[in-house]
Homo-oligomer: A and B are copies of this chain.
Amino acid sequence: MADLDSPDTIHDLATPALVVDRSVFDANTAAMDAVLPGRKLRPHVKAFKSTALATRLADDGHTAFCAATPREIEGLVAAGLTDDLLLANETLDVARLGRLADDAEITVAVDSDATLTAAIDGGVRSVLIDVEVGLPRCGCDPADAGRLAERARAAGLEVRGVMGYEGHLMMVDDREERTERVAESMRQLLEAHGAVGGEIVSGGGTGTFDTNTSCTEIQAGSYTLMDTHYDTLDLPFRPAATVVGTVVSVSGKGWIVADVGLKAMGMDHGDPTWTEGEVFFLSDEHATLVPREGSTYNVGDRIQLVPSHIDPTVARHEAMWLVDGDRIVDRWEVDLRHW
């Protein structure tokens, strides 16, 4: 029987378990470093929610991070990753970050008078002006960016520059079209930057990491672990993460059932992928799978499913297990979960 407390291989893990192939992870980070070394990349921790993984990226020179939630920032500070942390998101719950202003360099995004007032009252010392560049989400009207920056400076805050996320362009299939549309979107950000000032123009993501050449830094995180959704693009990154399950039932009617359900997966981009056959459907705690013709599975066999969306998948798990082949070589706590 497997030793579930101190697993040596994938076969010893209590399932479902999130597993990361170390060699694929290493190749992904090397491919990113070749294009965006050091501070050219601001890794987005929302994708992997682990300070162990973030520390690995800091060791490679990416010592500035961005985050989507106050808790992610708090966790980075607790882990000593304090060089340059950006909450790339609006929040009113900003006193949590102001409290840490002596321990870490913390910048928050603001896009309105209300969020700027919260930043001032909350005790943070620097902001970026978040500008809407085509994605229907946060960000001020580009024409309002300069006024917000002026008000922030008048209140004694440092205004480090602008950010704008072209999330609506991440999945544009054709590279040339993607490049053009990103440049067009970023023209609005650069215009706002002209009015705002500061050294930083922050934007981009895994899908536009090398087609967005307008920003001084790119906010990408999913490239580390990847998923089947991003894998449809022409990116130099490959899926490194899978969720491992145990076959718990084998039907005489052609399907098998593993203990990897939709509670262990981000499902907003659809079902995960099984390279050994078809995913029939997922329930809360089950995957019903149809193996390729001619292959035989027994109760107790292990299967691995590749997530369609890595960010919410990671957020379901307490830890990820690093593997070299089947051998477990490390365990990274997913310590930035929840809010």
Interface, chain A (partner B; CB < 8 A): 1, 4, 14-16, 46, 68-69, 89-93, 95, 111-112, 114-115, 121, 132, 136-139, 141, 167, 246, 248-253, 255, 257, 259, 262-264, 266-268, 280-286, 288, 298-300, 311-312, 315-318, 338-339
> With A68-B284, A137-B283, A312-B284 in contact, do A339 and B15 touch (Cβ < 8 Å)?
yes
Contacts of A318 in B (CB 8 A): 338
Is the contact region of chain A dominated by helix, strand, or loop, or is it mixed?
loop
Once A46-B285, A263-B311 are accepted as A-B contacts, the answer to whether A138 and B248 lie under 8 Å apart by CB is yes
> Are B114's CB and A298's CB within 8 A?
yes
C-alpha spacing A1/B96, complex, angstroms: 12
Q: Cβ of A91: which chain B residues have Cβ within 8 Å of it?
A: 248, 259
Taken together, the copies of this chain in the complex come to 2
Who on chain B is nearest to A318 by CB? B338
Distance (whole angstroms) from the CB of A56 to the closest CB of chain B: 21
Which of chain B's residues have a CB closer than 8 A to the CB of A339? 14-16, 264
The residue of chain B having its C-beta at the shortest distance from the C-beta of A141 within the complex is B252
**Considering the chains assembled together, what is the distance between the CA atoms of A95 and B138 in angstroms?**
50
Chain B nearest Cβ from A220, distance in angstroms: 14
Residue of B90, B136, B286 near A280 (CB, 8 A) is B136
When distances are taken between beta carbons in the complex, the residues of chain B under 8 Å from A4 are 93
B298 and A262 within 8 A (CB): no
- Per a CB cutoff under 8 Å, which of B14, B68, B286, B312 touches A137? B286
Task: List the B side residues contacting A280 at CB < 8 Å.
Answer: 136
Instruction: Determine the distance from Cα of A90 to Cα of B338 in the docked complex, in whole angstroms.
Output: 29
Chain B residues with CB under 8 A of A263: 311-312, 315
Q: Assess whether B299 is in contact with A112, with CB atoms less than 8 Å apart.
A: yes
Would you give 5 A-B contacts (Cβ < 8 Å), ordered by A? Answer: A46-B285, A132-B251, A137-B257, A262-B268, A315-B316
Distance between A280 CB and nearest chain B CB, rounded to angstroms: 6
In the complex, A250→B95 CA distance in Å? 21
CB-defined contacts of A312 to chain B, threshold 8 Å: 262-263, 267, 284
Q: What 3 A-B pairs come out closest when comparing CB atoms?
A: A114-B299, A90-B248, A267-B268
Q: Report the minimal beta-carbon distance from A182 to chain B, rounded to whole angstroms.
A: 18
Chain B residues near A288: list those with CB within 8 A.
Answer: 136-137
Is the Cβ of B284 less than 8 Å from the Cβ of A311?
yes
- List 18 other contacts, CB 8 Å, given A15-B93, A90-B257, A132-B251: A14-B93, A15-B339, A68-B284, A68-B285, A92-B246, A92-B248, A93-B246, A112-B249, A112-B250, A112-B299, A115-B248, A136-B281, A137-B257, A138-B286, A262-B268, A316-B316, A317-B338, A318-B338
